[in-house]
Each structure stands twice: as structure tokens, then as C-alpha cells.
């Protein structure tokens, strides 16, 4: 089992206390023991279906809950050379049915549109997801036509919207973000996104604002739809609830507010065997901006690479990937609590 202590980059340099906290869980029973208790350890892949690509950590926002630690000052960005290696895999691995583009703000990568066009040429049938923070559409005139570009290439848009009010959204994502997000949704709606019968999907993402688990995805979705429709006349398809994992900026918040132990207790006490069986790392591979391979986006941020002979996209080995042991640690409790959590929302 790999220690999380040395992997909490860049937080590991902050203090000895952080290192101790990262290795211990309340009650002393860690994630490996929980999986062993339900005969799921070692955790193994099922099938490679989702190919998630992080195009870089540059972003026009600095959100408090961001597990990527993204922002305008980040320089890490994927090159076209790495994208070409990704395209080779997408073209050859027919079990991949979804390409999930994320960041940072993936749209800020100068090769973003070229990559989508090439994916669509290679695999016309494949689902392409872009994790758009909404405000990027308004950030610069060169992004204003993104709704039309997304529509022309049948891109599914997934966007974070912490709440249906300005005060709670802006507290988490920055002043003025809610107003810009609503305007961006209206722009997406105007070309058909989120509208009934359009087949242009716009899904929103809810992350809790504090040290607690998300509520019922079904109930929150109904409330979001009613409030946003009544107040702002905007539409979307689904709401995904995602549990905040104790890494990066959210971990800093937990430690700063003395909520780390109580939050971990909540995650551990809510461990759900059904959610554990369906965790996203079992059918997903996550590709970092530099081409290294990870079991999930969260492991990527902790620099916990896949356990294969050469964990890089240029040395792709589907046999090894399908037979690997998935790298786990105590942050994984965030994906198995309650109804479960994945990039596609609740899992059970």
C-alpha cells in the first residue's frame, strides 16, 4: 500500500501534522480493510469504458473546493504530442465509449478544439464530455462561440454550479460567478442545450459547501430545476452530486477549520458496499496533462500513478491496465460514502 504522506503535493511540505493526519483515520480501520471485509480487495478493473483527459491545470477561476488546485497562475498544460498519443488509444480501444475532457478549464488549452474535432473524426459515435466551468464562455470573446462549437460536435456539457443562489455559489467559486454562470447557461439553452427533445445534454454538478455529505441527488435535482426555472428561466438535464474528497484545497479547509477528523468519521460511517463495487476507477483511466496514467482524477492530483510497468500514455498496455490492482488510500472513502460519488454523480 502506497503512503499518502509523500503524495500530498503540494500540501506535504506544509507541516508534520498534515502528514500524520493524512495517514490516520478515526477508529484505525482504513480503506483497504473495508474493501477486504466485502471481498473487494485488491480492487480490480472491470472494463475500460471511460477515457478521462486532463488538458491542464490552468483555469480562469480559483474555487475553494477545487481538488485540482487549478487557477490562472498554473502553467501545466497538455501538448499536442501527448494528445496524439491519446488519440491513438481512443481510435484503437473500441471498449471506450466516453472521452471526458477536464482541467482546469480545458477550453484554455490552445489545442482544445482541434482535439475534439479529431476525436469526432476518429470515432463519430463516441460520447465526448467537456467539464466546462460556465464562466469561461464569458471570460474572453474567443470563447463566446463555445456553445455553437459544442453543438456542432455533439459535445455533452457538464458544469459545476454549487447552488441556485448567488451568495452560496460566489462564496465557493468567487464574486460574480453565479451571475456569469446563469448567463452562460442561458447561452447554452439558446442553442438547445438542456432543452427537451434537443439531445444536447447539459448536466450540472453540486458539491457541498462545507464538511458534510451531499443530500439526495434526486431531491436536489428537483429543487435545482424548479428554482432555476422559476427565477432565471434556465433549463438543464441532470444534477450530479459529488462528495468533496479530503485532498488539496478542501483538505486545507478541513485542517484549517479543525473538521478533518469529524469529516473522515462521516465518510467512514457512511461506507456503502454497493457504492464500493461501482466506483468509477473500475471502468475509467485518467490521463494527466503530462501523459501519465492514473486510476481516477483524484489519484492524479495526489500523483498516485497506475501500477503498471510503464504508466504513461506513450507506453499504453491495455492488458496490464485491465489486470492491474487499483491504487487506493483513505481519500477513497469519499467515493464510497452514502449513495457513492463519481464524476457522473451518485453511483447507487
pLDDT of residue 60: 80
Contact 278, 347 (CB under 8 A): yes
What is the pairing mode between strands 293-294 and 284-287? antiparallel
Grouping H, G, I as helix, E, B as strand and the rest as coil, residue 21 is helix
Q: Comparing C-alpha atoms, which of 141, 143, 129 is closest to residue 193?
A: 129
pLDDT of residue 262: 94
Q: Is the pLDDT of residue 15 over 70?
A: no
pLDDT of residue 63: 72
pLDDT of residue 9: 38
Contact 335, 270 (CB under 8 A): no
Question: What is the rounded distance in angstroms from the CA atom of residue 293 to the CA atom of residue 306?
Answer: 6
User: If DSSP states are collapsed to H, E and C, what string results for 64-100?
Assistant: CCCCCCCECCCCCECCHHHHHHHHHHHHHCCCCCEEE
Mean pLDDT of 116-130: 98
Determine phi and psi for 209, rounding to 5 degrees.
-85, -10
Q: Is the pLDDT of residue 170 over 60?
A: yes
pLDDT of residue 20: 37
Mean pLDDT of 41-51: 97
Mean pLDDT of 248-259: 88
Grouping H, G, I as helix, E, B as strand and the rest as coil, residue 250 is helix
Residue that the C-alpha cell 480490480 belongs to? 44
Residue that the C-alpha cell 500540501 belongs to? 11
pTM for this model (two decimals): 0.92
pLDDT digits (tens, 9 = 90+) for 261-304: 999 999 999 999 999 999 999 999 999 999 999 999 999 988 89
Which of 246 and 147 is assigned the larger pLDDT?
Answer: 147
Q: Is the pLDDT of residue 1 over 80?
A: no
Mean pLDDT of 103-122: 96
pLDDT of residue 251: 87
The H-or-E segment that residue 206 falls in is strand 202-206
CATH architecture of 5-336: Alpha-Beta Barrel (3.20)
Q: Omega before 167 cis (within 30°)?
A: no
pLDDT of residue 172: 82
Amino acid at each position: 500500500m502506497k503512503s499518502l504522506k509523500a503524495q500530498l503535493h503540494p500540501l506535504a511540505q506544509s507541516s508534520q501534522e498534515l502528514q500524520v493526519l493524512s495517514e490516520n483515520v478515526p477508529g484505525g480501520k482504513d480503506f483497504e480493510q473495508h474493501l477486504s471485509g466485502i471481498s473487494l480487495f485488491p480492487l480490480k478493473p472491470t472494463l475500460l469504458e471511460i477515457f478521462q483527459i486532463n488538458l491542464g491545470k490552468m483555469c480562469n477561476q480559483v474555487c475553494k473546493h477545487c481538488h485540482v488546485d487549478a487557477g490562472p497562475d498554473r502553467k501545466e498544460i497538455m501538448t499536442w504530442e501527448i494528445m496524439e498519443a491519446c488519440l491513438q488509444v481512443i481510435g484503437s480501444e473500441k471498449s471506450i465509449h466516453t472521452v471526458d475532457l477536464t482541467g482546469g478549464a480545458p477550453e484554455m488549452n490552445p489545442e482544445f478544439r482541434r482535439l475534439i474535432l479529431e476525436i469526432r473524426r476518429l470515432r463519430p459515435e463516441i460520447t465526448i464530455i467537456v467539464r466546462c466551468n460556465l464562466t469561461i464562455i464569458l471570460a474572453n470573446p474567443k470563447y463566446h462561440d463555445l456553445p455553437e462549437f459544442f453543438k456542432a460536435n455533439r459535445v455533452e456539457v457538464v458544469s459545476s454550479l454549487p447552488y441556485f443562489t448567488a451568495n452560496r455559489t460566489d462564496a465557493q467559486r468567487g464574486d460574480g460567478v453565479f451571475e456569469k454562470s446563469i448567463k452562460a447557461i442561458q447561452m447554452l439553452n439558446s442553442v438547445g442545450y438542456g432543452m427537451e427533445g434537443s439531445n444536447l445534454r447539459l448536466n450540472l454538478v453540486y458539491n457541498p459547501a462545507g464538511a458534510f455529505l451531499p443530500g439526495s441527488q434526486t431531491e436536489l435535482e428537483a429543487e435545482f430545476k424548479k428554482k432555476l426555472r422559476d427565477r432565471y428561466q434556465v433549463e438543464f438535464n441532470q444534477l450530479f452530486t459529488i462528495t468533496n474528497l479530503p485532498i488539496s484545497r478542501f483538505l486545507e479547509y478541513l485542517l484549517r477549520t479543525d473538521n478533518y477528523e469529524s469529516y473522515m468519521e462521516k465518510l467512514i460511517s457512511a461506507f456503502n458496499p454497493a457504492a464500493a463495487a461501482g466506483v468509477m476507477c473500475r471502468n475509467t483511466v485518467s490521463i494527466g496533462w503530462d501523459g501519465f496514467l492514473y486510476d481516477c482524477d483524484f489519484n492524479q492530483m495526489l500523483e498516485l500513478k497506475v501500477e503498471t510497468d510503464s504508466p504513461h500514455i506513450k507506453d499504453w498496455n491495455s492488458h496490464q491496465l485491465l489486470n492491474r490492482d487499483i491504487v487506493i488510500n483513505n481519500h477513497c472513502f469519499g467515493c464510497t460514502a452514502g449513495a457513492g460519488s463519481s464524476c457522473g454523480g451518485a453511483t447507487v
